[in-house]
Amino acid sequence: MLCISQKNSEDSCKVFTCKKNRLQTKKFAVVPFSKRVVFVPHCMRNVAVCAAVEKNSCYVCVECGGCKISEISKLVKELNYQALYVVKGGRAIQHIIKEQVPKAIVGIACFFEGAQAFKMLEKENVAVQFVALTKDGCVDTDANLIEVAKVLEI
């Protein structure tokens, strides 16, 4: 159960990320799929079966079907996105942006991490759309695939 201050903080992150999403939707929509990357948190992996390969500060999903990242990865390929990264943390995101220079980003995370990412990316010339996890925490997190697909296809 969340304490009152945690609840307030989550609410303010929710308001902040919704506002940022709205403000950046048009900018995001005009970026071709091939110039967009997707960041998925590693806590969505099913660690009991995950066959992803660890690479630097990311995991390379091999679409084993053990978690929803498999479906997200397939859709990202179908749409011809630049890449999908299963990231271990915020630093990985900064590093990838510097190296790959995407024009747009779809980030899946909890509201707190989403708000942090919007702040971190404020000075970058990149359009961001955020999808909130439906179940957060450090392991076994979850996201709504319909919501994810909706944002990927904008």
Interface residues toward ligand SF4, by CB under 6 A: 45-46, 49-52, 61-67, 69-70, 86
Query: Among residues 9 and 46, whose Cβ is nearest to ligand SF4?
Result: 46
With CA atoms as reference, report the closest residue to 88 among 44, 145, 147: 44
Query: Among residues 9 and 70, whose Cβ is nearest to ligand SF4?
Result: 70
On the 0-12 / 13-18 / 19+ scale of CB atoms within 10 A, 137 is: exposed
Query: Among residues 13 and 87, whose Cβ is nearest to ligand SF4?
Result: 87
- The two structure tokens encoding residue 22: 């709205």
Q: How many angstroms separate the CA atoms of 137 and 141, rounded?
A: 6
Q: How many angstroms separate the CA atoms of 95 and 90, rounded?
A: 9
User: What is the nearest approach in angstroms of ligand SF4 to the Cβ of residue 144?
Assistant: 16
Query: Among residues 71 and 124, whose Cβ is nearest to ligand SF4?
Result: 71
What count of residues does the chain have? 154
User: What is the nearest approach in angstroms of ligand SF4 to the Cβ of residue 53?
Assistant: 8
User: What is the nearest approach in angstroms of ligand SF4 to the Cβ of residue 33?
Assistant: 21
Please say whether the beta carbons of 129 and 104 come within 8 A. Answer: yes
Query: Among residues 52 and 126, whose Cβ is nearest to ligand SF4?
Result: 52
The neighbour count for residue 119, using CB atoms within 10 Å, is 11
* Rg, C-alpha atoms of the chain: 15
User: What is the nearest approach in angstroms of ligand SF4 to the Cβ of residue 61?
Assistant: 3
User: What is the nearest approach in angstroms of ligand SF4 to the Cβ of residue 112?
Assistant: 22
